[in-house]
Amino acid sequence: MGEPAIISVRDVHKVFNGHTDRAVTALQDINLDIGPGEFVSLLGPSGCGKSTLLRVLADLTSPSQGEVTVNGKTPRAARADRDYGMVFQQAGLFDWRSVQRNVELPLQVAGAPKDQRRAKALEMLELVRLGEFAKHFPWQLSGGMQQRVAIARALSADPSILFMDEPLGALDEMNRERLQGELLRIWTDVRTTVVFVTHSISEAVFLSSRVVVMSARPGRIAASIDVDLPYPRVAETRTTPEFFAKVKEVRQVLHAAESEQAPA
């Protein structure tokens, strides 16, 4: 990357139960730079620490060792300044708030005045194409729609970074592919940096400008693969030879990383 990194990870280790004999190394020697505007996927089998790495970036947990900067600040400061928005596997919307008031929540925490919150929430709902559902309640929406509301909510405070922790993992295949397309369209619109955790190879390749492949026990970065397929990527992109070739390449790296350290 020629540009200065927006996210920088230096020699990060994360050990759970560090002071007991059941210590588990979740992350080892993690070094990673992510430039502004990148769409980076963290890809790997379960237990490879990809979610833990994202949670370190988001200051939902802290590293045992090493340095992390997000937007030139500590993760804690970045979190307090709402420099990033976060989407989880479960939409986690608040049942008692209308869709619009759910999207307003980050702005409400920030202390924004009511009319400004309202205008911004409606703008975000238009962005995810749910404008007409502003007055509905989350439990009246399908799972895919709820996740789109969660994306609108994550973006409402204008963060420069979007962290996504397997956001499409709970959806069926049809909805999943549709939402992948939606996500790329939204990303093209708002131009935030995206860090996206997934265990789906095709999902990572379709979405990302770069795939960071991780291996398990201990969680390490095995490779960083640029995906040079041109944007905008559409449904037909999935059927091109270039797409297949990239999926194959990533799969080989993933399997090589796994067999390398698998005990006999």
The pair of three-digit structure tokens given for residue 263, joined into one six-digit string: 């005990």
To the nearest whole angstrom, how small is the minimum distance from the Cβ of residue 223 to another protein?
29
- Select from 13, 24, 36, 137 the one that contacts another protein (CB under 8 A): 137
Size of the site for another protein (CB under 8 A): 41
Give the other-Cβ count within 10 Å of 2's Cβ.
4
The pair of three-digit structure tokens given for residue 63, joined into one six-digit string: 């590293």
Pairing of strands 65-70, 7-16: antiparallel
Which of 49, 50, 72, 68 lies closest to 59 in space, CA to CA?
68
- Select from 39, 133, 187, 243 the one that contacts another protein (CB under 8 A): 133
Q: Which residue has the tokens 């390449």?
A: 249
The pattern of x and - marking residues 67 through 106 that bind another protein according to CB under 8 A reads: ------------xxxx-xxx-xxxxxxxxxxx------xx
To the nearest whole angstrom, how small is the minimum distance from the Cβ of residue 198 to another protein?
17
Give the other-Cβ count within 10 Å of 10's Cβ.
14
Q: How many CA atoms lie within 13 A of 89 on its CB side?
A: 9
- Select from 26, 151, 157, 257 the one that contacts another protein (CB under 8 A): 157
Q: Compare residues 115 and 139 and give the one whose CB is closer to another protein.
A: 139
**Is 196 a binder of another protein (CB under 8 A)?**
no
CB–CB of 221/40 below 8 Å? no
Distance (Å, whole) CA 33 – CA 214? 15
**Is 139 a binder of another protein (CB under 8 A)?**
yes
Question: Of residues 108-127, which lie at the interface with another protein (CB under 8 A)?
Answer: 108-110
**Is 138 a binder of another protein (CB under 8 A)?**
yes
**Is 167 a binder of another protein (CB under 8 A)?**
no
Distance (Å, whole) CA 205 – CA 181? 13
The pattern of x and - marking residues 23 through 52 that bind another protein according to CB under 8 A reads: ------------------------------
Helix (H) or strand (E) holding 195: strand 193-198
| Site residues for another protein per CB under 8 A | 58, 60, 79-82, 84-86, 88-98, 105-106, 108-110, 133, 135-143, 145-146, 157, 163, 170-171
